[in-house]
Amino acid sequence: MKEGWLNRDAPPSQRGKPGPVRAGARQLVDALRDPENFQTSDWSGLITAARAEQLLGSLAFRLEGRPVPERAASILAGARREAAQQRTQALWEAEMARRACEGLSVPLILLKGTAFHAAGLDAAVGRSVGDLDLLVPRARIEEVEAALIDAGWERIKPADGYDDLYYRRWMHELPPLVHRDRDRMADVHHTILPPTARPTPDAAALIADSIAIDSGVAILSSPDMIVHAAAHLFADGDLAGGLRNLWDIDRLLRQFGAEPGFWQVLATRARLHQLTAPVALALRLSARLFATPVDAGIAGRARPSDRLFEARLLARDNWGRPTRPLLRFAFYLRSHWLRMPPLMLARHLLVKARR
Amino acid sequence: MRHQLALQIGPVAFRIGSAWPEPLAALARLYAAYPAPADDICDFTVRLEPEKPWRRWIRPSVAIQGDYVLPDAAPMALAHGLLAAEMGMNLQMALGQKRFLLLHASSVEKNGRALVMTGESGAGKSTLAALLGERGWRLMGDEFALLDLDSGNLWPFPRAISLKNGAIAVMEGEAPAERFGPLLEDTPKGAIRHLRPNEAAIVGMNQCARPALILFPRFGADCAARGVGQAEIFMRLTQSSTNYVALGGAGFDALTGLVRSCPAAAIDYPDTEGAIDLVEALWSEAA
């Protein structure tokens, strides 16, 4: 494998100087990437954009100890307190699910934010967690669902309705479950992309290589975690809220990149899961926005479309409003195109439009 | 955004952006004499936007957006734009405020000690606080009481008082006309008129107070008061808090601290004058 590091930084002219205020999400990226040299005259805009992108907790930890105005400092301290509580809640949900499934001897693999927190990864610092995301073998998924329902989780889609059947037939996860007392959502996956998408990740390999972190609970291996994050961001969905996922990727790559042999295994696993292109794109975008040191061989050469992805990820202004409606719509269409074959897409959109 | 206004209310700063000038003009009149946020840094952002792009001009319809939103909130008529701004600020507090334990309660202060009143909508906590605020007490807030998570003190949050239906006439007899906002009729909650708190409340918006008495008022029956045990106080206050669960252990500690240190009573009252006398009597007992 070619050794070499792609390390793009912001142009020197834009660093360290108070200069003109940059648009919301762009300013947020500056602050996350280089907190030491970050200055702004629009703290309200920064805080609003960070909230809208679910990155206020991460930002608050990045700026901890930096000289910031008193009011901003108190808002950021509040965000750190909130992040600590979110962490407690996320870990508690995982523990509740573990207890619910204790008798099944199915390993519960934690995904995304909950996994970062449970494993104490750098990506967990300030990371907000919404839902509990789990991965289990497809053959056992109904047992897990029944165990969760026994323990107080409830279906929110009417059973046997279009959505319910759609999930069960075509999705990589069960229809969402919500706990009746704690009002927290659980998404139980059997793989990391919808079966209708063109790439078919090797779910059995994801599970076989997972790492136990606690009795009955596991996380994906480091390279698979990157592959999953890249698949989630670039091979599924319309990139709404994607900046947080890209920040995850930056944090994970900086931590894992130092492990011996990591990049080689990452390339192998990306190929195995048929996700070489999304992984390459994730590396390029992470380097582009957050100056992440990445393997240039895997990242590949910059493509003209990289700029569109960047523009989509940064489509947020200082008032927290989404910008670039046409670009967002294009990515919305792309997400459906990626997710299902054309005829199926037509039928699905027809059903949705009739509601 | 095209039109904007920033407001400092107690320890919390808001910025409100609007697609139309009218809601902010009304808001600026109502909050005349309130200070601007220090360094122009705001805790929360509220946006008043057209529900659909063309609804800026054609049958204008105000959607309440911002840092925190209710997904199924109904848009409002532009004539009720002031109310939309107020609701937008309330929403940020209810869903986003994590620096304080938020009690859906009114509060007034005397000699550095605070009286907190909470109860179901329509119990009269807002009107009672507004009246006391005109009769020798300092109004701290009519909607939210902010409990400091570390010190256990109560922070003022003297927003414009939201008077509904019958309470409007009661307060029109108490406060000068220039402190009132426009009468908003046919809102989802009936007639609403906002009242700017008096100067003492605005000048004192940075002065905390020690909670000294909690009352659970209820409008209707003859004047009566009964003591309330700590367990019941605790349960009632968790129900009146919008962020108790979200704060986790910090919220529990703050709330148990309040309950242990503060006596409480449930009161019934048939009219406002009877309520005022009863409150003053209970206050001198507690003091």
Instruction: Indicate the domain borders of chain B.
Output: 3-96, 100-159+197-286
Q: Is the pLDDT of residue A16 over 50?
A: no
CB contact under 8 A, A43 and B247: no
Could you write out the DSSP letters of every residue in B50-67? ESSGGGGTSS-EEEEEES
CB B79, CB B185: distance < 8 Å:
no
User: Region B212-228: what's the mean pLDDT?
Assistant: 91
Contacts (Cβ under 8 Å, ≥6 apart) of A84? none
What amino acid occupies position B220? G
Quick check: B88 contacting A, CB < 8 Å?
no
Quick check: A44 contacting B, CB < 8 Å?
yes
Q: Is the pLDDT of residue A8 over 80?
A: no
- pLDDT for B155 equals 98
Instruction: Give the distance from residue A207's alpha carbon to the nearest chain B alpha carbon, in angstroms.
Output: 34
- pLDDT, tens digit, 9 for 90 and up, residues A55-93: 999 999 999 999 999 999 999 999 999 999 999 999 999
- pLDDT for A20 equals 59
pLDDT-derived band of residue B221, with 50, 70 and 90 as boundaries? confident
> Which runs of consecutive H residues, i.e. helices, occur in B49-190?
81-96, 125-134, 166-172
* C-beta pairs of A260-264 under 8 Å, 24+ apart in sequence: A262/A222, A262/A223, A263/A1, A263/A295, A263/A297, A263/A298, A264/A1
- pLDDT, tens digit, 9 for 90 and up, residues B146-155: 999 999 999 9
Q: Is the pLDDT of residue B187 over 60?
A: yes
Instruction: Write the CA distances from B67 to A301, B37, B203, integer angstroms.
Output: 38, 18, 28
- pLDDT for A167 equals 85
User: Region A167-179: what's the mean pLDDT?
Assistant: 90
Q: What are the chain B neighbours of A57 within 8 Å (beta carbons)?
A: none
CB contact under 8 A, B40 and A44: yes
Residue of A nearest to B44 (CA): A48
Instruction: Give the distance from residue B221's alpha carbon to the nearest chain A alpha carbon, in angstroms.
Output: 35
Residue A130 CA, distance from chain mean position: 11
Q: What are the chain A neighbours of B101 within 8 Å (beta carbons)?
A: none
CA dist., res. B34 & res. B31, Å (int): 6
Residue B152 CA, distance from chain mean position: 19
Give contacts of A 297-336 with B, CB under 8 A. Answer: 319-321
- pLDDT, tens digit, 9 for 90 and up, residues B137-146: 999 999 999 9
What amino acid occupies position B243? N
Residue A248 CA, distance from chain mean position: 6
Instruction: Give the distance from residue A170's alpha carbon to the nearest chain B alpha carbon, in angstroms.
Output: 27
Instruction: Give the distance from residue A7's alpha carbon to the nearest chain B alpha carbon, in angstroms.
Output: 34
Q: What are the chain B neighbours of A47 within 8 Å (beta carbons)?
A: 41-43
Quick check: A294 contacting B, CB < 8 Å?
no
Rounded to two decimals, the pTM is 0.91
CB A90, CB A106: distance < 8 Å:
no
CB contact under 8 A, A44 and B17: no
Quote the number of domains for chain A.
1
* C-alpha torsion sign, points A190, A191, A195, A200: negative
CA dist., res. B54 & res. B52, Å (int): 6
Residue of A nearest to B247 (CA): A85
Quick check: A43 contacting B, CB < 8 Å?
yes
Residue of B nearest to A52 (CA): B67
Enclosing domain of residue A212:
5-354
CA dist., res. A224 & res. A217, Å (int): 16
pLDDT-derived band of residue B273, with 50, 70 and 90 as boundaries? confident
CA dist., res. A110 & res. A94, Å (int): 8
pLDDT-derived band of residue A131, with 50, 70 and 90 as boundaries? very high
User: Region A310-324: what's the mean pLDDT?
Assistant: 95
Q: Residue A290 sits in a domain of what CATH number? A: 3.30.460.40
What amino acid occupies position A11? P
Would you state the CATH architecture of domain B100-159+197-286? Alpha-Beta Complex (3.90)
Residue of B nearest to A73 (CA): B41
CB contact under 8 A, A75 and B43: yes
- pLDDT, tens digit, 9 for 90 and up, residues B50-73: 988 889 888 899 999 999 999 888
Any idea which of B38-42, B230-234, B280-284 has the lowest mean pLDDT? Answer: B38-42
CA dist., res. B188 & res. B100, Å (int): 29
Give contacts of A 83-102 with B, CB under 8 A. Answer: 85, 88-89
User: Region A332-351: what's the mean pLDDT?
Assistant: 82
CA dihedral A85→A87→A93→A95, nearest 10 degrees, is: -120
Quick check: A82 contacting B, CB < 8 Å?
yes
CA dist., res. B103 & res. B126, Å (int): 13
CB contact under 8 A, B98 and A78: yes
Instruction: Give the distance from residue A44's alpha carbon to the nearest chain B alpha carbon, in angstroms.
Output: 5
Q: What are the chain B neighbours of A78 within 8 Å (beta carbons)?
A: 98-99
**Angle (nearest 5°) at CA A201 between A198 and A207:** 160
**What is the Cβ-side half-sphere exposure of residue A91, based on CA atoms within 13 angstroms?**
15
CA dist., res. A252 & res. A283, Å (int): 11
CB A98, CB A108: distance < 8 Å:
yes
What amino acid occupies position B25? A
Instruction: Give the distance from residue A38's alpha carbon to the nearest chain B alpha carbon, in angstroms.
Output: 16
- pLDDT for A161 equals 83
Residue of A nearest to B38 (CA): A71
Q: What are the chain B neighbours of A51 within 8 Å (beta carbons)?
A: 67, 96
